[in-house]
Amino acid sequence: MARREREIGPGEVTCLACGWVSYAVTRAEAESEVARMRAYLATLSAEDRRGWSEEGPSVEKYVCRSCGGNTFRPALPEDCPDGATTNPVIWQP
């Protein structure tokens, strides 16, 4: 019986530097998400904001979670281990 490969989502990409799989978003998508998060955080009390870093959400964080790289290629099924969580990165082919 063939091993079933995990399906790769259309936006998933692999870091060229370290092989970590993330999913790609455009800069515009990242900026709107950051703006949405900032607006949400602004509604929280100082207490509830604990756990968020001082500078808050930022498009600068849309890079490889493993190595901080920002060059990617489309992911292949064998790149992505089952159950891996992916984080968004800014990348456009």
Cα–Cα separations (whole angstroms), residue 7 to 12, 14, 72, 82: 10, 14, 18, 9
- Write down the H helix ranges in the chain: 27-42, 46-49
Binding of residue 67 to Zn ion (CB under 5 A): yes
Binding of residue 20 to Zn ion (CB under 5 A): yes
* DSSP tag of 2: P
Binding of residue 64 to Zn ion (CB under 5 A): yes
Q: 49 vs 87, which CB is nearer to Zn ion?
A: 87
DSSP strand pairing (72-74 vs 12-15): antiparallel
Find the shortest distance in angstroms from Cβ 69 to Zn ion.
Answer: 4
Which residues are paired to 24 by β-bridges? 89
Binding of residue 16 to Zn ion (CB under 5 A): no
Considering only the stretches 2-10, 21-29, 35-43, 68-76, report the one whose residues sit in contact with Zn ion under the rule CB under 5 A: 68-76
Binding site residues, Zn ion, CB under 5 A:
15, 17-18, 20, 64, 66-67, 69
